Amino acid sequence: MNQEIPTAPGAGEQEDIQSRLETPGAGIPWLEGKLMGLGFRLMARRLSRQQILAKFQAEAEHMLAMAGPLPEEQGRKRVLIPRQRGMEDSSRFWSPYMILQHVTIVNRGMTMLLRGMSHGKLPDRKVSTADVKPKLDAGPQEIASFRDTVASCSDIIRSLGPLDPELRHLHPWFGRMNASQWLCLMTEHHGVHRRQMELVLK
């Protein structure tokens, strides 16, 4: 289902579109996950924490530049796009505000994970992509929330001590990754949803 939605669909039509997508947590193709996981591992070897954070912040600024000036009606408008690399099928019918809310949730969760890993601790709870989906009624308050979270998460990550390359936590798509690899995932996650927002607003 790759058609564009030229006007905001009604509630019944939105439910119908969403019902035809895969369920949250269904994941991405196996090979895609393997290749992306390899990319995170190579990125973690080649780039410093400062370089990764700079990319993280640059992608955030791109998203804010797109979403910030939007009229509220357009910010709330859900638009169906083709599935992108690194994106579940269930996530391709979102509004700009939903995108920001989702990325904010993920940023907070991954930052907590990184802070714990920096102290040699792993969470008991498994990572679930179904648990970080946005709410349908996400509104303009998500802009400030996203901006503030990017700043606070960046400060926390910048302050962390050395990260143990041997301590790993499981991601359902990308396998066991150390803290530096999780930070690369956090940054590339921004890129996935920056491209999504570009398509939504196209």
Residue 119 DSSP class = T
Q: pLDDT grade, residue 182 (50/70/90)?
A: very high
pLDDT of 2 > 80? The answer is no
Question: Which pLDDT value is given to residue 1?
Answer: 39
Question: Which pLDDT value is given to residue 124?
Answer: 87
Question: Which pLDDT value is given to residue 9?
Answer: 65
Region 12-31 average pLDDT: 89
Taken as a whole, the chain contains a residue count of 202
* 93-126 pLDDT tens trace: 999 999 999 999 999 999 999 999 999 999 988 8
User: Residue 181: which residues within 8 A CB-CB, separation 6 or more?
Assistant: 40, 41, 43, 44
Q: How many other C-beta atoms can be found within 10 angstroms of the C-beta atom of residue 130?
A: 13
φ, ψ at 72 (rounded to 5°): -55, -40
Tokens linked to 147: 């901006």
Q: Is 93 helix (H, G, I), strand (E, B) or coil?
A: strand
Q: pLDDT grade, residue 59 (50/70/90)?
A: very high
Q: Is 198 helix (H, G, I), strand (E, B) or coil?
A: helix
* 133-181 pLDDT tens trace: 999 999 999 999 999 999 999 999 999 999 999 999 999 999 999 999 9
Query: 91 and 133 in contact (C-beta within 8 Å)?
Result: yes
Q: Which position has the higher pLDDT, 109 or 7?
A: 109
Question: Which pLDDT value is given to residue 14?
Answer: 85
What average pLDDT is seen over the chain?
Answer: 93
By C-alpha distance, which of 197, 148, 184 is closest to 41? 184
Q: Which residue has the tokens 């992608």?
A: 59
Domain boundaries, the chain: 29-201
Tokens linked to 174: 């990308």
pLDDT of 70 > 90? The answer is yes
pLDDT of 8 > 50? The answer is yes
Q: Which position has the higher pLDDT, 127 or 159?
A: 159
Please give the full DSSP string across 120-179, using - where no structure is assigned. T---SSPP-GGGGPPPTT--THHHHHHHHHHHHHHHHHHH--PPPTT-EEEETTTEEEEH
Query: 197 and 99 in contact (C-beta within 8 Å)?
Result: yes
pLDDT of 6 > 70? The answer is no
Query: 89 and 130 in contact (C-beta within 8 Å)?
Result: no
pLDDT of 30 > 80? The answer is yes
Level-2 CATH architecture, domain 29-201: Up-down Bundle (1.20)
Q: In percent, how much of the chain has pLDDT > 70? A: 95
Tokens linked to 98: 């939903």
